[in-house]
Structure 1
Amino acid sequence: MTPTTPQGYTLFETDLELAASLLEDDLRQLNDAHMFITGGTGFFGIWLLECLLWARETRGLKLRMTVLSRSPEAFLEKRAPHLRERDGLSFLAGSLTTFEPPAETVTHILHLASETNVEQSSDWAQRHLHAAIDGTRRLLDMAAQHCTEAVLVTTSGAVYSPMDSVVDNLCVEGPAGVADYASERTVYGEAKRMMEVMTSVAARSHGYRALIARCFAFVGPYLALDSNYAIGNFMRDALMGRTVTVDGDGTPLRSYLYAADLVVWLMRILVRGRTGVPYNVGGNEIVSIGELARLTARIGGAADDVLIKGTPVPGAKPSAYLPSLVRTESELKLKVSVPLEEAIRRTMEWNRERIAHKV
């Protein structure tokens, strides 16, 4: 049976209701809150907006959201016309580093924005650092001005990729030059770490709660299928009836969290998380990229149509990008609700619906 999409939404009711039901107790603590959200027009943001709007309508939640966007009108016209003139939702035009804070008191700030480098531009590193540091500073200044209760920053598992290393108790220098320091991996991870530090230091001075969500890999409706996300590329191939292709050797290890769970985890961290303490956000099913390609092909109806271009190096340890969920589960009682196979199935079904209706 095909999941239904309620009027005024683009996500399946199954997912909207899942998030609302798991967050019943948490959402009550956000009644009468005014959230200021950056990154509200991206993958994380659209999921968050629709789930919270659903909670407003079905649970009577009195929650207001102000979303910062460089071009709200373009977003509402081309990507999300269903979000225009919704009760409890407003948009503020501006960039992260130059916006004028709203006059109305903001009780919670959710910093979800991040500069991506899909276009592989040469000035990405500079732009990312500028947005991460100067943009975060501007948000923290607003938090102090508004006596904000809590600031949530979404960073990344990339903070666990150290530039330097210790060998036999000796510190080895690491990067050998500008190319290493300016690499996408280094800049991204170090900038995210700095956002965590800045938010925690400012929290000590101004008294708000500093919440840190270290986000890993995700799957769900609105995930780009033509970007640098392997799982998105695999689903694109399967949906188009093409061979699901792995450019590498298929050995790297990953785990994925479905976007409905992502919303639940972020809101739980916002409400119950300890200040200045990072929480990993990600899936619990470990899968190799090759296994992921085969799983996606099978769900898409072409189980044998997989091409892995690379050849594994005998005896080599596979790279891994996997979160420990011990703290998240023990302190916040969070669990994965949607298994990986079901997450892929729902995401592909949503995309099929969009393709069928030419949305």
Structure 2
Amino acid sequence: MTQASDWRGPHAHDLGGRHVFLTGGTGAVGRTLLDYLDRCDAAHAGLRVTVLTRDAKAFADRHPAQAQRPWLDLVEGNLSALPPLPVGTTDVIHAAADTHLGTGHAAWIDQIVGGTRILLDAAVQARAGRFLLVSSGAVYGPQPASMATLNEDYGGAPDPLLAGSTYGQAKRVAEQLCTIACHEQGLATVIARLFAFGSVHMPRDDRYALGSFVRDALADDDRPIEVAGDGLAIRSYLGGNDMAHALVTALTAGKPGGAYNIGSDDPVTIRALAERIRDRLSPQRDVVVRGAAGNGQRSRYVPDVDRIVALGAVSQTDLNSVIDEVAGVTTTCLPRCVDL
């Protein structure tokens, strides 16, 4: 396993002269990426980034430090009413897609698939150089128990007879559209299949185990850290800074028409994650497992990352640093000093 990257220095990509059009810049992935791009610009000046947002003022009010960066422009619109891409756009990063059901399964497919097609057409029209689709490891479907990690050549798929497979199915179609645009229109599309990660921008709600455990650990009351299931599911977590570095690596160095897993190859059970967060942030707190023991089958979601590592990215194996990143904690003030 590789060591965590020193993202503060030599791993900042030189993006001078590039103009990146970014969708999803207001979500956890996008805002983590904006932090990384700020370091890229600090190390190598000349970057321009345009972020598509439904409400530029609301974004600026909520996140003034990010909105005021001199290399960043905000343009109002959405994927169903997309304004023309700015003149000089060299790259597109498509990171917009809700990961949780909102208005219905069919509408969810429309958003993911239709939005990708509209943006691909716009990128071709603007003669953009490269197009990165931020996809998901959900495209593989359930990971077989006999498979330690999922690699990009695995041919599994979500079950189309399950409504819960909608997100993974839609991402598969979005990937197919990128493949068509690459082969038929010459657009240099690259696919990044994102697995679990952690950053300070992660929502601290019950949709994300890592975020909700950190929320419980930092609570002012004496609540326990609650594990909703049986705690036996196996996941892995990449630090947000390394996640963003890997995405930009895929954008700049990925093979057109290729796909790259972005994640950590260091597995941990959900219960062990909760206990590590407790030990790291709030040692006096209890960890409570609410769910009953399952049928002996563990859900596993861990990627093989050799392909992206070969391009110069890394697999984050230091879970403590991921926890610190989510909590906004510096190692010199643990366990309960938080800089949010």
TM-score between the two structures when normalised by the length of structure 2: 0.86
The equivalent residue for 1:334 is: 313
The equivalent residue for 2:74 is: 91
1:52 aligns with 2:31: no
| Aligned with 1:322 (options 302, 320, 323) | 302
Q: Which amino acid in 2 is paired with 1:86?
A: R
Aligned equivalents of 1:22, 1:276: Cα separation in 2: 28
Per-residue CA deviation, residues 171-219 of structure 1 (Å, 9 max, x unaligned), is: xxx655xxx3xx2x31100111111110111122222211110001011
Structure scoring higher RCO (CA < 8 A, sep ≥ 6) equals: 2
1:278 aligns with 2:288: no
Aligned equivalents of 1:31, 1:224: Cα separation in 2: 31
1:40 aligns with 2:19: no
**Pairwise CA distance, 1:246:** 0.7
Per-residue CA deviation, residues 233-258 of structure 1 (Å, 9 max, x unaligned), is: 11111111420111111110000000
Q: Which amino acid in 2 is paired with 1:34?
A: H
Aligned equivalents of 2:11, 2:187: Cα separation in 1: 22
1:148 aligned counterpart, secondary structure: coil
Structure 2 runs not aligned, ≥5 long: 143-158
Per-residue CA deviation, residues 314-342 of structure 1 (Å, 9 max, x unaligned), is: 6x12110111112222x313223561112
1:320 aligned counterpart, secondary structure: coil
The equivalent residue for 1:207 is: 186
Aligned-pair Cα RMSD in Å? 2.7
The equivalent residue for 2:278 is: 297
1:258 aligns with 2:242: no
**Pairwise CA distance, 1:304:** 5.9
**Pairwise CA distance, 1:347:** 2.4
Q: Which amino acid in 2 is paired with 1:218?
A: F
Aligned equivalents of 2:339, 2:55: Cα separation in 1: 24
Identity %: 32
Q: Equivalences for 1:1-359 in 2 at 5 Å?
A: 18-19=6-7, 21-24=9-12, 26-27=13-14, 30-56=15-41, 58-77=42-61, 79-117=62-100, 121=102, 123-161=103-141, 180=162, 183=163, 185-240=164-219, 241-302=222-283, 305-313=286-294, 316-329=296-309, 331-337=310-316, 339-350=318-329
1:294/1:303 contact within 8 Å kept: no
Aligned equivalents of 1:343, 1:115: Cα separation in 2: 23
2:223/2:285 contact within 8 Å kept: no
Q: Are residues 212 and 193 of structure 1, via their aligned partners in 2, closer, same or farther at CA, if it must alter by over 3 Å?
A: same
Aligned pair count reads 318
Q: Are residues 188 and 175 of structure 1, via their aligned partners in 2, closer, same or farther at CA, if it must alter by over 3 Å?
A: closer
Q: Which amino acid in 1 is paired with 2:124?
A: A
2:239/2:325 contact within 8 Å kept: no
1:228 aligned counterpart, secondary structure: coil
If each structure's helix is expressed as a fraction of its own residues, which one has the higher value?
1
Aligned equivalents of 2:66, 2:21: Cα separation in 1: 16
Q: Are residues 50 and 318 of structure 1, via their aligned partners in 2, closer, same or farther at CA, if it must alter by over 3 Å?
A: same
Find runs of 4+ consecutive structure 1 residues off by over 3 angstroms. 349-353, 355-359
Q: Are residues 333 and 33 of structure 1, via their aligned partners in 2, closer, same or farther at CA, if it must alter by over 3 Å?
A: closer
Per-residue CA deviation, residues 138-183 of structure 1 (Å, 9 max, x unaligned), is: 1111111111110000111100117xxxxxxxxxxx655xxx3xx2
Aligned equivalents of 2:88, 2:256: Cα separation in 1: 21
Per-residue CA deviation, residues 88-141 of structure 1 (Å, 9 max, x unaligned), is: 210110111112113413110000111233xx54x2323321121211111111
Aligned equivalents of 2:212, 2:205: Cα separation in 1: 6
Aligned equivalents of 2:287, 2:68: Cα separation in 1: 45
Structure 1 runs not aligned, ≥5 long: 1-14, 163-173
1:20/1:55 contact within 8 Å kept: no
Q: Are residues 327 and 85 of structure 1, via their aligned partners in 2, closer, same or farther at CA, if it must alter by over 3 Å?
A: closer
TM-score between the two structures when normalised by the length of structure 1: 0.81
The equivalent residue for 1:3 is: none
**Pairwise CA distance, 1:71:** 0.8
Aligned equivalents of 2:45, 2:244: Cα separation in 1: 16
**Pairwise CA distance, 1:357:** 9.4
Aligned equivalents of 1:116, 1:318: Cα separation in 2: 22
Aligned equivalents of 1:303, 1:294: Cα separation in 2: 11
Aligned equivalents of 2:314, 2:26: Cα separation in 1: 26
Which has the higher mean CA deviation after the structures are superposed, 32-41 or 132-141? Answer: 132-141
Aligned equivalents of 1:138, 1:288: Cα separation in 2: 39
The equivalent residue for 2:147 is: none
1:283 aligned counterpart, secondary structure: coil
1:21 aligned counterpart, secondary structure: coil
Which protein shows a greater Rg?
Answer: 1
1:256/1:282 contact within 8 Å kept: yes
Q: Are residues 34 and 349 of structure 1, via their aligned partners in 2, closer, same or farther at CA, if it must alter by over 3 Å?
A: closer
2:131/2:190 contact within 8 Å kept: yes
